[in-house]
Structure 1
Amino acid sequence: MLPIKIDYKRCNGCGICERNCPGDLIYMDQVTKMPFVKYPEECWLCGACRIDCPKECIQIIFPLISL
């Protein structure tokens, strides 16, 4: 499961998420001009992409932790 879910119906392809991701994990597809998570296993779940998104189209999926 990807840690970041992007609602492409709401996304306008502005690229803010790509520029603000501290791990450089989000890239813009050159054909569709939409963001995608290139290295999902390295996501820190910091939320920078979600917080900065002007269209509020990014959701962070936190993993379940069993105790």
Structure 2
Amino acid sequence: MSVRIIHDNCKKCKACYNQCPNDVIGWDDKKNAPFIAYPDECSHCGVCALECKFGAISHTIPLACCDDIMTFTPAINKPEKFDWKKWV
């Protein structure tokens, strides 16, 4: 699982619950605490970790996603060596 809640740091502000675009994080009304409701739905966007001001969300991007990110990087031609003499 790429998202983990560190309950010792959680202040129960619901920021992670309210901001997760895929509803991965649920809210347990009885415990008044967040929980990972749908771990397979996580798109690894990191919004939950960014929104948590207390460091209660640990978010790890799986290696498979890193490979996808590199694959989708636009191909850019390698720049030619800079020749300052052309500019003088």
TM over 0.5: yes
CA distance in 2, matches of 1:5, 1:37: 7
1:47 alignment partner in structure 2: 46
Identity %, equivalent residues: 34
User: What's the TM-score once normalised by structure 2's chain length?
Assistant: 0.67
CA distance in 1, matches of 2:15, 2:31: 16
Paired AA for residue 12 in structure 2? G
Count of paired positions: 65
Deviations 1:7-45 (A, max 9, x none): 100101110101100111211111111111111011011
Structure having the higher Rg: 2
Map 1:1-67 → 2, pairs under 5 A: 2-65=1-64
TM-align CA RMSD: 1.4
Superposed structure 1 runs of 4+ greater than 3 Å apart: none
Partner SS, residue 41 of structure 1:
helix
Partner SS, residue 59 of structure 1:
strand
Q: CA deviation at 1:64?
A: 3.3
Q: Per residue, is there more helix in 1 or in 2?
A: 2
Q: Which runs of 5+ in 1 are unaligned?
A: none
Q: Which runs of 5+ in 2 are unaligned?
A: 68-88
Q: Does the 8 Å contact 2:4/2:36 carry over to 1?
A: no
